[in-house]
Structure 1
């Protein structure tokens, strides 16, 4: 899949089999005698990433396998209705669906169990494959793509690994990388990563055999491992002491399917108003004598405030209040609050 908004080229990621011929070509390559059976697969799928993976395998047949069951559960903070989409896909394609955070072995009866966007422990299964949206061993842990975008990483990707006792430390079965060009929203990043999951899953299936199961995989370079810590509501709040570039990347990384980057606005004669920042852009910096005062509105351009950051300036193009209404700044003498103001 290619689009001008996707920052990769055919050289970066190779999805060569069309969904209409994937199974046939796989059988031809895997067994000339024609008696090869596709592996049975259970999908443990959570969030937007999980929904898109289910759609790619079940609806588009982009990975040569037979799906016997899909397991999912609601995720707080994800607002795009992924769970209902997964249920509908399963119903339309007559696939068993189980809603639970704690599947049992009976729910996972298959040759391979793919875990995408999954956040909970599962019973051990010899065919388990975890998909982690980072280029391991970097960004082990929580929200790796969000953290990578906020930091301005030049590559993101997907790793398929065998699970071990400690999270994200298992042997690697496949890694697919793509370059990033900023600005990049989290929505566009997830769209760009979609074919990475498919390619990684194809590589896993191509190396599976009914006799031996999955290969052992390649051990990670643990000495170069880094971690991404869990995030909660406090981590959604913008700190205006940061650079305009980092705040821009933060706003883009916390948008749909997440609830958005948060801030508060205050004028001297008005109450504090809580806001969600939806769209911003970096503006040329201004050199101030004395105090820089990050968060203060420097000027208003067509109803859009230009805000002083720790370094650089940021124009707020679109924001909404707690009721979802568009918010327009009309007072120059006002400021956006950083957490230390609260």
Structure 2
């Protein structure tokens, strides 16, 4: 019986494993590699462990050394180099060759892309440049929060893994198609600084940032009168003529919600909190500044 190995993280990894078990016998999984993700609030590590134990699937932590395996391996959400790249199939959060690299889904949402997707490709030394095996794409409309986007692409992950696994189990050849290099773009890594809002941007971009880095991530950050806050939700408002356009200043108070001047347009803050989790609302001080 042919088997596969899986490197799994986060909600997408859990969704893939759960639906793989439903479609195939769990015995067709040789073992699973798991890892915790300290960058998000819920990483599904414990849920993945429970799912493996419930279905008698052998699993290892990332820091352990699993036995060698020469068959096909799937990497879903994995952030580390896998030394044995032979027969390694990587699933990437973008429609390659666009958005090679890091945090592609977040960056696609910030940029306002109308389609998101997942690509299954063979691993290579240079990241995300391998031959494409299959892709799945879904159209989206804005506003959309990152959690909703994750739930939209999780089934795409499962569909790709299950369809490719079926080829493995049927002893069929898995082939890929070379990427068109001139169409390639790259998505840079993000760190804590990238959570901070640039109020010089237009209100559309800021709104998309707020939605793209919200739960399960730590949320969009800014300063409010020199104190760091997290903005969880906001609404765009039509622009007005501001003779001295000092971005970040509050221009209106609407039922306890501050309306902030952006580089273009206005943004009404609907939900925001201080670092101690207390709400900044209701807001009653017009003379307030967001940002430094």
Structures share fold, TM-score greater than 0.5: yes
**What pairs with 1:1-342 in structure 2 (closer than 5 Å)?**
37=1, 39-58=2-21, 60-61=22-23, 66-100=28-62, 104=65, 106=67, 109=69, 111-208=71-168, 214-266=173-225, 272-289=226-243, 291-328=244-281, 329-337=283-291, 341=292
| TM-score (structure 1 length as normaliser) | 0.80
Q: Deviations over 1:245-301 (max 9, x none)?
A: 0000000000111111111101xxxxx221111011101111112x21110001111
Q: Deviations over 1:166-187 (max 9, x none)?
A: 1100001100001110001110
Q: How big is the shift at 1:196?
A: 0.7
- Extract structure 1 runs of 4+ deviating beyond 6 A: 62-65
SS of equivalent to 1:334: coil
| TM-score (structure 2 length as normaliser) | 0.94
Contact (CA 8 Å) 2:52, 2:58: kept in 1 or not? Answer: yes
Unaligned runs of 5+ in 2: none
Contact (CA 8 Å) 1:136, 1:159: kept in 2 or not? Answer: yes
Higher gyration radius (CA): 1
Contact (CA 8 Å) 1:134, 1:140: kept in 2 or not? Answer: yes
Write the distance in 2 (CA, Å) between the matches of 1:126 and 1:185. 36
Write the distance in 1 (CA, Å) between the matches of 2:20 and 2:55. 11
Q: Deviations over 1:114-172 (max 9, x none)?
A: 10000111122433110001000000000000000000001100000001111100001
Q: How big is the shift at 1:226?
A: 0.4
Unaligned runs of 5+ in 1: 1-36, 267-271
